[in-house]
Amino acid sequence: MFRKTKSFLVLTFILTAALLTVACGAKPNNTEQEVSPTPTPSTTAGPAKGDFLIGVIPASGTSNMKTGADKLAAILSEKLGRNVKAEVYPDYNGVVEAMGAGKVQMAYLGPLTYVEAHERYDVKAIATVLVSGQPFYYSYMIAHKDSPYNSFDDIKANAANIRFAFGDISSTSGSLVPGIALKKAELFKSQQDSKFKSITYTGAHDATALAVQNKTQDVGAIDSAIFDNLVKNGKIDGSQFKIIWKSEQLFQYPFAVEKTVPEADIKKIQEAMFAITDKDILSAFNGASAFTAAKNEDYAAIRQAAIEDSRVKPKQ
């Protein structure tokens, strides 16, 4: 009896010890799945306020415009309390498309590109440049001083011998306005259909001026304010040119914002810009003497010219 009891106790002890060992060494069923840590404030907070981007048309020398645009961006960054960046685009239409795609919130545009952007994307003019205190400029047709051409009548009489240079195809003074004058004179319909020896689009006003100065083009269409600024800064030799045609007054280039920009930010931008006296900034934008307010109605004449030239469609 004693032997059986003792054997039973030993067996019970062994089984109990084994069960305790298994119980202590085993893991719960769910321990193979990692438990995510508690999210920190940095992972649950909303995204930081994005950059405010400025697009700039390549109206004149890119490096000069880039310097001025970057300095303007720094001033607006401080005023708006957010990071502001500026980019000079390779062509006029690229800035319009960037605004339409929401890639830039503010842009420096030519009057024609502004009209196109306003019609397509409802952007809003908020500022423009003053040159010698005036918000106006002209389209010039320029020739080399040694050229035999001295007037628009000379252009008409000698078109077959003239290599004519426009700027960017979307430029107001470098394409739209002089193009309309030439169309009315029945000298020009398109690059492929004209009475000129050749038609070239240089892409920028400074390129047009240099082409005429170097006699690779005979007559060029150019922005008067940019022409004067190129002469002033020694980029071209003013003594090598003559102005042989001048348009009516054109309202200066606008700064425009996309429709999502709050009115409070627009006021801050205007306040900052109207106070600017930095020569690097002013010189970059058509050789401005200052910035002033602008509105959509200021560009009604340009819009009408764009309709006349089938650049935009009239509203029904």
Q: How high is the pLDDT of residue 113?
A: 96
For 297-310, what is each residue's pLDDT tens digit? 999 999 999 999 99
Q: Are 199 and 218 in contact (CB under 8 A)?
A: no
pLDDT in tens, 222-278: 999 999 999 999 999 999 999 999 999 999 999 999 999 999 999 999 999 999 999
How distant is the alpha carbon of residue 141 from its chain centre? 26
Per-residue confidence band for 314, with pLDDT thresholds at 50, 70 and 90: confident
Q: Considering the chain, what is the average pLDDT of its residues?
A: 87
Q: How far is CA 277 from CA 52, 122, 272, 273, 291, in A?
A: 22, 30, 10, 9, 9
- pLDDT average, residue stretch 138-157: 98
Q: Cβ(260)–Cβ(105) under 8 Å?
A: yes
Residue 296 DSSP one-character state: G
pLDDT at 44 over 70: no
Higher pLDDT, 314 or 1: 314
pLDDT in tens, 111-124: 999 999 999 999 99
Q: Which two tokens stand for residue 257?
A: 């914002």
Which two tokens mark 22? 């298994």
Report, as an integer, the average pLDDT of 54-80: 91
Complete DSSP assignment for 166-177: ES-TT-IIIIIH
User: Is 173:246 a contact under the CB 8 Å cutoff?
Assistant: no
How far is Cα 160 from Cα 186, in angstroms, rounded to an integer? 13
219 pLDDT exceeds 80?
yes
Say whether pLDDT at 21 is over 90.
Answer: no
Distances (CA, A) of 80 to 264, 276, 296, 303: 10, 15, 24, 32
pLDDT for the residue numbered 41: 33
For 139-247, CATH gives 3.40.190.10
Distance CA 121, CA 105 (A): 12
Nearest alpha-carbon partner for 179 in 141, 207, 217, 213: 141
- The residue written with tokens 């959509």 in the block is 296
pLDDT reading at 10 higher than 50: no
Q: Give the architecture (CATH level 2) of 52-134+252-308.
A: 3-Layer(aba) Sandwich (3.40)
Per-residue pLDDT, 64: 82
pLDDT for residue 50: 80
**pLDDT value of residue 61:** 67
End-to-end CA distance of the chain: 115
Instruction: Report which listed range, 22-36, 41-55, 114-128, is most confident.
Output: 114-128
Closest CA to 257 of 77, 88, 127: 127
pTM higher than 0.85 for the full model?
no
User: Where do the domains of the chain lie?
Assistant: 52-134+252-308, 139-247
d(CA 178, CA 32): 77
Same fold, 52-134+252-308 and 139-247: yes
Q: Taking residues 65-71, what's their average pLDDT?
A: 95
Do 294 and 120 form a contact (C-beta atoms < 8 A)? no
Asked whether 80 and 268 are in contact (CB, 8 A), the reply is yes
